[in-house]
């Protein structure tokens, strides 16, 4: 009896991916430390203890969500995918009516609910819902069409675009271009692994590259065309600050220039914990990487990037272990979501990419983005948890 109980406890432990938990825990600690430093030096009126407690509550809520999602297996996730997508779309519609007027005035985006001190951005939880739906669409299509042909690949691409378009339209109405880029990155990653031929994918990528390059060219030489199709002045400002951050003193240019100064001042090893001599606006959220660069230098920044790479490696490893098509597409979406957030946030903090207001996963202050990322982690943890459960209950070596 005792041996059986010990064996059951060992089996339960092996069903949990402790490597992923370790990476997320380390990122959470780095986040709390970085937020504290940012608030300590930049805030005179906000209660630091209140903000730190609020962030800890969000982390706790995220852990609870991961624990709940882990209980859902592939079949259950398959069933709730349309419900999650529908709920996410409903929230994106509602926020266009009940958006926070104060946030819209400061950011230009109608993407936040606000009830007293509580704020929530529904597009962040829409990301994992979108991933679930895309995984279901691809898996269902591939089960119906065993052979990939030009016709079937175009049908699949059309289906995927059909589920992306409502999200894109609603985000456009919210003036939230940065978040739309995340959905495009998720969509692109899932298209690549869906089995669609590169004879279709390559021209699409080439067209997107040409379109983006043309837009940047028009920003520099003829903005009237872009203004006619809906580009806003703040979007032009962000591209201007990216192309020449030292040429202007407006908000976006100043924020980027100060971020680059802070990171550069950290040099190789950083100035040390809680030492800050360069002011960066709102660095507890979007510009949190400037805190890490200034305090811990190039070495500390590389360690952070290594932790993200380790987390992504663990996710890829789980995907290969489970050998389940639906799970593989979900995993791809989650990896693309986190990878794009990291790439864009760090890139914009050091001037390689335009400012977009995308937070650094598990580190930046804020609850909505943290919950969205933790839901994604829950999906990955579910893959390992139920794969191991199947192994132990059936004494087999393959999960179908």
The string of pLDDT tens digits covering residues 174-222 is: 988 889 999 999 999 999 999 899 999 999 889 888 988 888 887 777 7
Task: Report pTM.
Answer: 0.89
189: buried, middle or exposed (CB in 10 Å: 19+, 13-18, 0-12)? buried
How many other C-beta atoms lie within 10 A of the C-beta of residue 212? 10
The pLDDT value recorded for residue 393 is 47
pLDDT of residue 45: 54
Task: Identify the pLDDT of residue 226.
Answer: 77
Please check whether residue 329 is in contact with residue 379, taking contact to mean a CB–CB distance below 8 angstroms.
no
Tokens of 163: 């589920």
Size of the chain, expressed as the number of residues it contains: 400
Strand-pairing partners, residue 118, are 115
Structure tokens at 19: 């490597």
Phi, psi of 149 (to 5 degrees): -125, 175
The candidate with the shortest Cα–Cα distance to 35, out of 284, 369, 279, is 284
Tell me if 359 sits within 8 A of 341, measured CB to CB.
yes
Quick check: 42 and 395 in contact, CB under 8 A?
Answer: no
Q: Which residues of the chain have pLDDT under 70?
A: 1-14, 43-46, 234, 246-252, 388-400
Q: Which backbone phi and psi does 104 adopt, to 5 degrees?
A: -65, -35
**Per-residue pLDDT at 43:** 64
Q: Are 281 and 260 in contact (CB under 8 A)?
A: no
Q: Residue ranges of the domains in the chain?
A: 19-386
- pLDDT of res. 13: 61
pLDDT of residue 392: 43
Which of helix, strand or coil describes residue 202? Answer: helix
CA atoms within 13 A on the CB side of 373: 30
Instruction: Give the closest residue to 365 by CA, choosing from 395, 345, 385.
Output: 345
Sign of the Cα torsion 347, 353, 355, 359 reads negative
DSSP 3-state helix, strand, coil percentages of the chain (rounded to 5)? 75, 0, 25
């Amino acid at each position: 009896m005792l041996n059986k109980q010990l064996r059951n406890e060992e089996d339960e432990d092996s069903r949990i991916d402790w490597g992923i938990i370790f990476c997320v825990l380390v990122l959470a600690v780095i986040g709390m430390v970085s937020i504290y430093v940012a608030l300590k030096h930049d805030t005179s009126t906000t209660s630091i203890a209140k903000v730190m407690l609020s962030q800890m509550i969000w982390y706790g809520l995220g852990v609870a969500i991961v624990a709940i999602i882990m209980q859902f297996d592939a079949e259950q996730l398959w069933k709730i995918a349309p419900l999650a997508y529908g709920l996410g779309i409903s929230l994106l519609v509602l926020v266009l009516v009940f958006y926070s007027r104060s946030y819209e005035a400061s950011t230009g985006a109608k993407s936040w609910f606000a009830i007293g001190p509580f704020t929530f951005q529904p597009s962040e939880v829409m990301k994992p819902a979108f991933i679930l739906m895309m995984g279901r669409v691809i898996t269902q299509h591939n089960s119906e069409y065993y052979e990939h042909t030009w016709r079937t690949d175009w049908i699949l691409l059309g289906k995927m675009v059909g589920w992306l378009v409502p999200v894109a339209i609603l985000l456009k109405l919210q003036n939230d271009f940065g978040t739309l880029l995340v959905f495009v990155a998720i969509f692109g990653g899932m298209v690549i692994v869906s089995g669609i031929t590169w004879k279709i994918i390559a021209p699409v990528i080439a067209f997107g590259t040409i379109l983006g390059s043309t837009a940047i060219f028009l920003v520099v030489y003829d903005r009237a065309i872009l203004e006619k199709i809906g580009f806003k002045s703040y979007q032009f400002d962000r591209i201007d600050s990216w192309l020449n951050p030292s040429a202007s003193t407006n908000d976006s240019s100043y924020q980027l220039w100060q971020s680059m100064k802070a990171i550069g001042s950290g040099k190789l090893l950083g100035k040390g914990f809680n030492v800050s001599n360069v002011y960066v606006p709102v660095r507890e959220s979007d510009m949190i990487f400037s805190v890490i660069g200034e305090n811990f230098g190039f070495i500390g920044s590389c360690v952070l990037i290594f932790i993200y790479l380790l987390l992504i490696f663990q996710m890829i490893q789980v995907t290969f272990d489970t050998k389940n098509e639906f799970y593989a597409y979900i995993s791809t979406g989650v990896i693309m979501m986190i990878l794009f957030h990291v790439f864009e946030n760090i890139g914009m903090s050091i001037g390689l990419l335009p400012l977009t207001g995308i937070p650094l996963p598990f580190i930046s202050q804020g609850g909505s983005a943290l919950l969205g990322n933790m839901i994604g982690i829950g999906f990955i943890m579910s893959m390992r948890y139920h794969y191991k459960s199947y192994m132990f209950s059936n004494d087999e070596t393959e999960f179908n």
